[in-house]
Amino acid sequence: MALLDVKDLSIEFSGLKAVQHLDFSVEKGEIFGLIGPNGAGKTTVFNMVSGFFKPSGGQIFLNGMRIDGKFMFEINKLGIARTYQNINLFNNISVMDNMLIGQHCRIPYGTFASFFHTRKYRDCERATREKARETLGFVGIPEREDDQAKALSYGEQRLLEIARALVSDPCLLLLDEPAAGMNPTEKDNLARLVLEIRKRGVTVLCVEHDMKFVMGITDRICVLNYGQRIALGTPGEMQRHPAVVEAYLGGGE
């Protein structure tokens, strides 16, 4: 059984069919790419999988459990964490606090412990902080723990967003244009990081514009155009696929 199963997924915004009858499935341990020209509906698919939009048709299954129509916070608890195309951090608080909020749904103590700081609170908080530090180290910004999130450089903010998503122990990580706005060195580091993330047992679904980046790291790619799937396969196949070439380069007139 696939980890993520998207079946006949459609959504329309007041008549505009942004995504139509989309099918794909992501296997466990895969790095799966979702590409397409501007406005093809990639981010819309992301928003439906993560619960930000409610699809107008079709189903989404995570580990066989139907998740479409659930709230974002419920889906996060079920194991899907995401990053955003335009960075969405908690800007005015510290990097550490961002990481603590990232673990919100994994912290087991309840309201009573929050009020009175019981022993369970102290134990959980210590473990939560350790895990946050470990994850910051993993993405490569361990020394920025006490800085305000908005004080980080653009590349570091992207890394923090990935770290914040990772720290909630997801089984599926959605990366929405992670390499956007990065320089070539940062892109190389990011590619290495995504491969490392897969080694930790996290499946990655990635929307990206940068072809070199996508071709380099993904196992399979789904190509969208005008909200429909035009091709699905390995990066090598996609580069030669006539429909993909036409969508990207335009048909011969």
Partner 1 sequence: MKTLSDKKFSGKWLRRALAAGIFALVVLVVVMMENNILFARNRYIYVLLCYIGIYSIATSGLDVLFGYAGQISFGHAGFFCIGAYGSVLLSHSEWGVAKLGITPLPPILSIPLMGLVAALIGALLSKPASKLVFHFLSLLTIAFNQIMYLVVANFPGLTNGFIGITRVPPVKLQLFGATLLDFTAVKSKYSYVFLVMAVLAALLILKQNIVRSKLGRSMIAIRENQTAANGCGVNIMRAKTVSFAISAFYVGIAGGLLAHMVGFISPDTFVQNTSVIFITMLLFGGSGNMTGPILGALVITFVQESFQSLQDYRMLIYGTFLLAVILYQPAGLVGLGRSISGMFGGKGGANRGAA
Least separation, in Å, of the C-beta of 219 and partner 1?
25
State the Cα angle at 241 between 180 and 33, rounded to 5°: 35
Over the window 15 to 54, marking each residue x when it contacts partner 1 by CB under 8 A and - when it does not, the resulting string is -----------------------------------x-x--
**Close Cβ partners of 24 (under 8 Å, ≥ 6 residues apart):** 6, 32, 222, 229, 232
Strands (E), 126-209: 172-176, 203-207
Name which of 94 and 189 has its Cβ closer to partner 1. 94
Judged by CB under 8 A, the stretch of 14-22, 56-64, 99-107, 179-187 that binds partner 1 is: 99-107
Q: Using the rule CB under 8 A, which residue among 107, 127, 243, 245 binds partner 1?
A: 107
123 is a site residue for partner 1 (CB under 8 A): no
212 is a site residue for partner 1 (CB under 8 A): no
Handedness of CA 71, 73, 79, 81 (dihedral sign): positive
**Close Cβ partners of 171 (under 8 Å, ≥ 6 residues apart):** 3, 28, 62, 63, 79, 80, 202, 203
Q: Using the rule CB under 8 A, which residue among 104, 126, 200, 212 binds partner 1?
A: 104
Residue 138 main-chain phi, psi, to 5 deg: -60, -45
146 is a site residue for partner 1 (CB under 8 A): yes
Least separation, in Å, of the C-beta of 197 and partner 1?
17
Over the window 155 to 174, marking each residue x when it contacts partner 1 by CB under 8 A and - when it does not, the resulting string is ---------x---x------
Judged by CB under 8 A, the stretch of 34-42, 104-112, 205-213, 243-251 that binds partner 1 is: 104-112
Least separation, in Å, of the C-beta of 115 and partner 1?
6
Q: How far apart (Å, rounded) are the C-alpha atoms in residues 215 and 64?
A: 29
Q: How far apart (Å, rounded) are the C-alpha atoms in residues 80 and 169?
A: 9
End-to-end Cα separation, the chain, in angstroms: 43
**Close Cβ partners of 200 (under 8 Å, ≥ 6 residues apart):** 166
Which amino acid is it at 102? G
Of residues 66 through 85, those in contact with partner 1 by CB under 8 A are 71-73, 76-77, 81-82, 84
218 is a site residue for partner 1 (CB under 8 A): no
Name which of 40 and 89 has its Cβ closer to partner 1. 89
Measure CA 41 to chain center.
15
Least separation, in Å, of the C-beta of 201 and partner 1?
20
In the complex, the residues that contact partner 1 under the rule CB under 8 A are 50, 52, 71-73, 76-77, 81-82, 84, 88-94, 97, 100-102, 104-107, 109, 111, 113-117, 121, 125, 146, 148, 164, 168
